[in-house]
Amino acid sequence: MIVKSFLKWAETANTAQRVSATAALTRAYATGCDGYAERMAAEAALAFLLDDPSPKVRLALAEGLAAIDHAPRDVILGLAQDQIEVAARIIALSPVLCDNDLVDIIASGRPVLQQLVALRSGLSVAVSAALAEVAGAAVVGDLLDNRDAALAQISLRRIAERFGESADIRGRLFERANLPCDVRQDLVERVGTALAGSGLIRSAIGGSRGRKVTEEACLGATLRLAETVIAEEIPALVEHLRGSGRLTPAFLMHALCAGNVDFFAAAVVSLSGMSDSRVRGILNDGREAAIRALYRSIGLDRHIAPVFVTATLLWRAASQRHNGIDTGKVTCEVMRRHEADAAAEPSVGELLRLVEVLHLNWRRQASRDYAQQLAAEAA
């Protein structure tokens, strides 16, 4: 009877009256209906309003139902397919929409609707994955800004694959603590490529010099990443560097002289094909001949393998003493012991120049740390 009266009244009521009645009806529905019959009557009236010719009425319906978790699903889905002004409120807020509904909205390909989904609270892994796969850069940027969205590592990887050339997307990805280490390193390389191709860099320091500077910066960033990556992600980073041709003797020497033994061991495991326990056993307790054979098995030239053996033995000795040994002492001792080899063999000389760079960088950092300590004491 109530529905019949409402329908009859709606035939002659003007738009403003219907908007007001719609707002009143949704408020009453939100607070709850007394009994099954009353609820069914109210939902029938809401469904009737879904077909109202005035978008103002349908907008009032959407505004009234958007935050109600028990709103009729058929009405909500109808509003979500309405014109953007009506659908926006529902897509952005309605708890009635399930993951499948949101994925269907994303698949429609309408950027405005995708953006509304990307900004929703409590976005699930599945919906985030759908956005990462098909949405444009602007929408993906909103998704990364939505700290209430659950993003799996595989989705972050896909975003990096699709939009790694975008500086804005790269910046947002770098901010995420769960970004896979191999993806982070790949983005570092993309930054370096972008910088090397920058007109400002080329005009300021020249093309070849600019490439050298950016390559060194990328190497430094990758080394820092290797030093800070969690143990579970080390194998993935090693394989990524190996696949991209970055796991060079120079990189390995950097890691070894810096004392990043876990990363270095994982790299040797990958390159040698031996088990982790076997490699670590040789590095920790093996004879010098066994260490040299291990390094030859991973493709190190017979001239530079002894340099790696020396660095390995120095760190092994350090681990057995309480006072320890630092990077500066390791690099200094490596250069001293192989000075004659460097004069006789160019490959050793090139490797020792790298070791010298490491030594100088260590000294500069040690000087900075000492100066800061004096300043703190003076204050």
262 and 331 together in one domain? yes
Q: Is the residue at 288 inside a domain?
A: yes
Question: What 3-state DSSP class applies to 148?
Answer: coil
Is 36 exposed, middle or buried, given 0-12, 13-18 or 19+ CB atoms closer than 10 A? Answer: exposed
How far is residue 351's CA from residue 57's CA, in Å, rounded to a whole number? 76
Query: How many other CB atoms sit within 10 Å of the CB of residue 222?
Result: 23
Indicate if 264 and 293 belong to the same structural domain.
yes
In a domain, 140, yes or no: no
Tell me which of 226, 245, 264 is where a domain ends: 245
Query: Are the beta carbons of 179 and 173 closer than 8 angstroms?
Result: yes
Are 195 and 249 in contact, with CB atoms under 8 Å apart?
no
Last residue in a domain, options 225, 245, 265: 245
Q: Flag whether 27 is in a domain.
A: no
In this structure, the answer to whether residues 206 and 259 fall within a common structural domain is no
DSSP string of 271-320?
A: HH---HHHHHHHHHH--HHHHHHHHHHTT--TTTHHHHHHHHHHHHHHHT
pLDDT per residue rounded down to tens, the chain (379 residues): 456 677 677 777 899 998 988 888 888 888 876 667 777 888 888 888 888 899 999 999 999 999 998 899 999 999 999 999 999 999 999 999 999 999 999 998 899 999 999 999 999 999 999 999 999 999 999 999 999 999 998 899 899 989 988 889 988 998 988 888 888 888 887 776 655 555 544 554 444 544 554 556 566 667 777 777 788 888 888 887 888 787 888 888 888 888 888 889 999 999 999 999 999 999 999 999 999 999 999 999 888 999 999 999 988 887 777 555 577 888 888 899 998 988 888 888 888 888 887 778 777 777 887 778 877 777 6
User: What angle, 0 to 180 degrees and rounded to 10, lies between the N-to-C axes of helices 125-134 and 137-145?
Assistant: 150
317 & 334 share domain: yes
Domain of 304?
248-368
Beta strands in the chain (DSSP E): none
Q: Are 302 and 238 members of one domain? A: no
Of 245, 272, 293, the residue that ends a domain is 245
Assess if residue 68 is contained within a domain: no
Residues 273 and 340 reside in one and the same domain:
yes
Residues 343, 253 within the same domain: yes
Number of domains in the chain: 2
Q: Are residues 312 and 211 in the same domain?
A: no
User: Would you say residue 173 lies in a domain?
Assistant: no
